[in-house]
Amino acid sequence: MTPESALNALKIMSEPGRSEQMAVYHKQTREVLGVPNPATNDLTKTWRQTLTVEERVNLADGLWQSDIFEARIAAAKLLTQARLRPDDAAWDLIQSWVPDFDSWAIADHACMAGQKRLMADPSRVLTVETWTTSDHMWTRRATLVITLPWTKQNHPKPQDMEIRDRVLGWAAIYVQDTDWFIQKAVAWWLRDLSKHDPDRVIAFLETYGDQMKPFARKEAGKYLK
């Protein structure tokens, strides 16, 4: 399958009038086709089942380069799979997308693909750590979104606890960043962690809560008793 044929398949699934609504909602200046998310899911599921890993990586690359909203979403969905072997090319491609992030929907879908690659090889978190000092807000934000799986473990291994504490260290630096998306990402990470490790979240908020925006502090403590 070529990127052109994949784009044609996406365009066939577009709905009249939907592109304008989606462009406004997602604050997009790039082309938006107006394809419902379930349709994109169905297409990418079929592609995942019929293409080799190499073919999927190549197709994802081509779709991303088109700079069409749904194509970038589809590119990420093509690589969102726990078992992907070999996966080095997929991880390299996902990393290459990070500097292009400019909106939450595309960034979050790409990070969901990245989450699978981090869980497959947790040592890649060290690469993610280098993003924390980026001048690009979306790159800094991606460090928290892509590491969300470490907030969800009830019985983390020692290695996982080390990563959990490492990311909390990033969040401690981020609380001084007043950008809404960064504050929201910190709150999101803490909120999800509080369901499985409330003591760490309580300790974090006792130390850094006063530096957070009120909405973020409230969100982070949403599930704490």
For the cut 90, the answer to whether the pLDDT of residue 225 exceeds it is no
pLDDT band for position 131 (50/70/90)? very high
- Do the beta carbons of residue 193 and residue 163 sit within 8 Å? no
Sign of CA dihedral 57, 59, 65, 68: negative
What pTM value is reported for the model? 0.95
| The predicted structure's pLDDT at residue 148 | 98
pLDDT band for position 26 (50/70/90)? very high
| The predicted structure's pLDDT at residue 182 | 98
Domains of the chain plus CATH, in order, are 1-102 (no CATH), 121-225 (1.25.40.290)
Question: How many Cβ atoms are within 10 Å of 187's Cβ, its own excluded?
Answer: 23
Quick: pLDDT tens for 79-102: 999 899 999 999 999 999 999 999
Distance of CA 160 to CAs 119, 165, 204, Å? 10, 9, 18
